[in-house]
Amino acid sequence: MQYRLNGSAIKGFEKGAVITKTEPIKLALIFITTLLLSRVTIMVGEGDIVGISPFGIAFLISIILEKNQSKVLTASIGGLVGYFTINNMLKDGFVYALIILFMLGYSLLFDKLKKRISDKQMFAILFLSYLIYGLFISNYDMGVNITMAALNTLISIPIYYVIRYGIKCVGEYNTNYFFNVEELISIAFIICLMVAGIGNFSIVGISIRNILSLAIVISIAYVGGATNGATIGIAMGVVVGMTTGDMISSIGLYGSVGLIAGLFKETGKVFSFISSILIFLIISFYSNGLNMQGISEMLIGGMVFLVIPKKFLKMLEIEICTDSKIEKINEEHLEQVKEEFSHKVQNFGLALGAISTSLNNMSDNDKLCYKNKSTGLIENLADRVCSVCSNCSRCWNREFNQTYTAFQVLLKEKEQGKHTFPSELEKKCIRKSDLIFNSEEIINILNGNEIIRRKLEEGRKIVANHINNISYNLDTMITDFKRDVTWCEELERVIRRELNKNSIAYKEVFCYTDKGGRANVKISMEKCSGCDYCAKNVLPVVNEIVGSPMSINNNGCRINPNNKDCYIVLEEMPKYKVVTYAGMRVKEGEEHTGDTYSFGRLDGGKYMTLLSDGMGSGPEASKESKATVELVERFVEAGFSIETALDTVNSIMSMKFEEDEKFSTLDLSTIDLYTGKASFIKVGAAASFIKRGDKIKKISSNMPPFGLMDKVLVESVEENLKSGDIIITLSDGVLDVDKDGVGDSAWLEKYLKGKGNNARELVEDILEESKKINNGTIKDDMSIIVSKVHAVY
């Protein structure tokens, strides 16, 4: 069963436009093909019978059965021109012109009548044309005439079916159709006939037909391998030998050239060309056919092969080689799966965006409802006080407007915290104390409800903002997903071959490049026996193939829980590695530190360091800083941008700040292990330092802590690191040891200049020095992270 992937079959309008544009090209190809095939002559004898040329007629019949009159007319003209050019080689050459005219007229007639033409009808016309021409033009005897007509017709029938099959196969070009051997041979047969149709045309004694024949054989052998090379070589030998009368020599020569060129395809174009020349010289020498003309034709044919663009050869390889076509189809499948997945996630993102908009609209509706609260408050107050008053009828029936306005003024004054009583009510209200008490109670309830409403509104806005951020980041992640993975089928094929050569059993190999353009190789194997088998056996093989140092990524060798297979991911080895040490001291009188830190390598060759300082000290500060670090860490590991992670944490801390005015800081730094580029982001954090020998560089920022601003405006400081650089990240408990100079780092910069470059020792030394300056006491939580950058290669 054959499966095809053809996008134009879905997009009908586009397909129609393409057909319109390519129609003149197709007609030109039909004209040239018919002309060349008409010139191919089979030498069947001597004397009265010089040769026959049934190929152009067979091709014309195939075109007629496609029911396209423009193609039929073009093929007919091409056939007439072709047969006219070889009329001197055919005793009854004009019979082919008669056949073409009869078939053309028959086709036009049936097209007008809208009737279907069959190949049997064409064979009948062919037989009758031979019969009529022999009877009235050549004046053959009836018996001889019938015999000759029958023989010519019978010869044309198998040729027609081969050509018809080949034309059908050519129509499958660029449709991801898998050609079998018979289909490739039929296509090769048409190509060989076209080359043979060039005839004996030569320049300076050098045959153009032989040059093109050799170039085609070597090209197909190079892209299709030895099997396809031998096939096209034998087919070319049969056709060319059939026209020259030396079939045995042609088959041996072209078949051998195709076989050898295909065998040496892995060595490249130049070596395939050289091997073809050598086998040509050997066969020509042993067949006594070696001459300068043949050598020149071989050299020129090889040069034509060498100048053929790689892009064209790649297209040819995809159509001929099953493996190449499978790789192309798999790549298309991968792209379609990615597109389908992206589409679903994008729709989910749109749904989240709609939810965010709805939540924001709910907040706006609360503002619209505020107008109706005044009326409700007045009615509530009147029900409480006036409903049992003896003057109710006078106040609310006869003096409704004055009473209503006075109640509005009273409630407004109470809402503003004033204690005045409206003069209108002073004159007539007999329950003044009850009215004042109930109005104050109603306003208190209103204020409490308003606080709750505002908190709910703020919560809705925060949730809406978060959902909107998630929707935005889903689009960003999908964009990255589309461009992150690029399948490397050629590298995958080479790795498979080398693993087989080294007797390394594997189940699957997947090679791709990430968004940084770096190669990644995922290899699945049966459960290995441990003992660093992957590092000792698999890694050296992949290193040799890729040509750049590779390493097992930080996940190491992992076991698939479903089938117990193990798999590893090999990635290009980063240029740098980072060694980190950390130290902490708890504030005196506390059992828990309010600082939290984290460091480690991320996917994509990044190294991240986090340090958060919760407000104050003790368990509460510890919870805040821990939540900050965990949230940022999880968001970044999930693929969200650092900006989104920080904005999310800020929104959460803003709610916390409004409750009990608690906030936290964050000191975040990332290092690209491939380039050495470092990025520092400080959200209310203390300064960091880069130590390069005796030179100290201070990294600081004026960003406020989380919770104080509605939105985080990220300020990033970029630095290029070198091997041996040391990054010191610390909390304000270490730095602010001088009461008179909070934030002053002069003492630490001076101290670092005289210290060594041992990261572990620096951690302890700085903590002890800070404690020493504080007279041996720890007045605040102290945390320090020291990272040292090392060049790997």
pLDDT at 110 over 70: yes
Residue 385 binned pLDDT confidence (cut-offs 50, 70, 90): confident
List all residues 6 or more positions away from 363 whose beta carbon is below 8 Å from its beta carbon. 457, 460, 461, 464
DSSP letter string, 126-144? HHHHHHHHHHHTS---HHH
Please report the pLDDT score of residue 681 as a whole number.
92
Indicate left, alpha or beta for 661 from its phi (over 0: left) and psi (-120 to 50: alpha). left
* Residue 255 identity (one-letter amino acid): G
Query: Residue 20's domain is classified under what CATH number?
Result: 1.10.1760
If asked whether residues 493 and 528 sit together in one domain, one would say: yes
Q: Are residues 528 and 560 in the same domain?
A: yes
The model's confidence at residue 679, banded by pLDDT at 50, 70 and 90, is: very high
Of 86-90, 265-269, 296-300, 509-513, the range with the highest mean pLDDT is 296-300
pLDDT at res. 480: 61
Residue pointed to by tokens 């609310």:
396
Beta strands in 476-586 (DSSP E): 486-487, 508-513, 519-525, 550-552, 558-559, 566-572, 576-585
Is the same domain home to 663 and 544?
A: no
Q: Is residue 339 part of a domain?
A: no
Query: Average pLDDT, whole number, for the chain?
Result: 80
- Do 393 and 511 sit in the same domain of this protein? no
Give yes or no: residues 280 and 361 share one domain.
no
Contacts of 660 (CB under 8 A, 6+ apart): none
580-613 per-position pLDDT tens digit: 999 998 888 788 888 899 999 887 788 999 999 8
pLDDT digits (tens, 9 = 90+) for 274-286: 888 888 888 888 7
More confident residue, 661 or 632: 632
Beta strands in 204-258 (DSSP E): 206-207
> And the tokens for 423?
């003069």
Residue where one domain finishes, among candidates 152, 178, 204: 178
pLDDT in tens, 16-25: 434 445 578 8
pLDDT at 482: 61
On whether both 542 and 634 belong to a single domain, the answer is no
* Residue 669 is assigned to a structural domain of this protein: yes
pLDDT greater than 80 at residue 751: yes
What pLDDT was estimated at residue 4? 39
Burial class (CB in 10 A: 0-12, 13-18, 19+), 433: exposed
- Assigned domain for 328 exists: no
Q: Report residue 363's pLDDT band, with 50, 70 and 90 as the boundaries.
A: low
Region 109-137: mean pLDDT is 87
Domain boundary residue, one of 320, 353, 388: 320
Percent of the chain with pLDDT over 70: 85
pLDDT band (50, 70, 90) for residue 2? very low
Instruction: Please say if the pLDDT value at position 569 is more than 70.
Output: yes
The answer, yes or no, to whether residue 661 has pLDDT greater than 70, is: no
The answer on 268 and 210 residing in a single domain is yes
Residue ending a domain, among 526, 553, 572, is 572
Tell me the backbone φ, ψ of residue 716, rounded to 5 degrees. -110, 135
**Is residue 770 pLDDT above 80, yes or no?**
yes
Query: Domain of 769: which CATH number?
Result: 3.60.40.10
Give the tokens for residue 391.
């003057």
Cα 141 to Cα 70, 129, 134, 433, 503: the distances in Å are 39, 16, 8, 141, 75
For the residues 663-684, what does the mean pLDDT come to?
90
- Whether residues 15 and 146 fall in one domain: yes
491 confidence band (pLDDT: 50, 70, 90): confident
The answer, yes or no, to whether residue 35 has pLDDT greater than 80, is yes
445 & 594 share domain: no
Residue 397 lies in a domain: yes
Confidence of residue 721 (pLDDT cuts 50, 70, 90): very high
Cα angle: 357, vertex 361, 367; to 5 degrees: 155
Judge if 544 and 671 occupy the same domain. no
Q: How confident is the model at residue 25, as a pLDDT?
A: 83
Residue 35 and residue 59 in contact, taking contact as beta carbons nearer than 8 Å: no
Structurally, how many domains does the chain consist of?
Answer: 5
**How would residue 47 be classed by pLDDT, with cut points 50, 70 and 90?**
very low
Residues 741 and 648 in one domain: yes
Higher local confidence (pLDDT), 616 or 350: 350
- Average the pLDDT over each of 596-605, 699-708, 760-769 and give the range with the smallest value: 699-708
Per the domain annotation, does 593 fall within a domain?
yes
> How many CB atoms sit inside 10 A of residue 429's CB?
22
Which range, 4-8, 11-15, 311-315, has the best average confidence (pLDDT)?
311-315
Closest residue by Cα to residue 29 from 261, 191, 226, 242: 191
Residue 326 lies inside a defined structural domain of this protein: no
- The predicted model gives 388-393 an average pLDDT of 81
Residues 6+ apart with CB under 8 A from 235: 185, 188, 189, 192
pTM of the model: 0.57
Do the domain assignments include residue 584?
yes
Q: Are residues 8 and 151 in the same domain?
A: yes
In this prediction, residue 149 has a pLDDT band, given cuts at 50, 70 and 90, of confident
Domain that holds residue 165: 1-178
Instruction: Tell me if 708 is assigned to some domain.
Output: yes
- Sign of the Cα torsion 562, 566, 570, 576 reads positive
Q: Is the pLDDT of residue 356 over 80?
A: no
**Can you give the pLDDT at residue 729?**
92
pLDDT of residue 48: 46
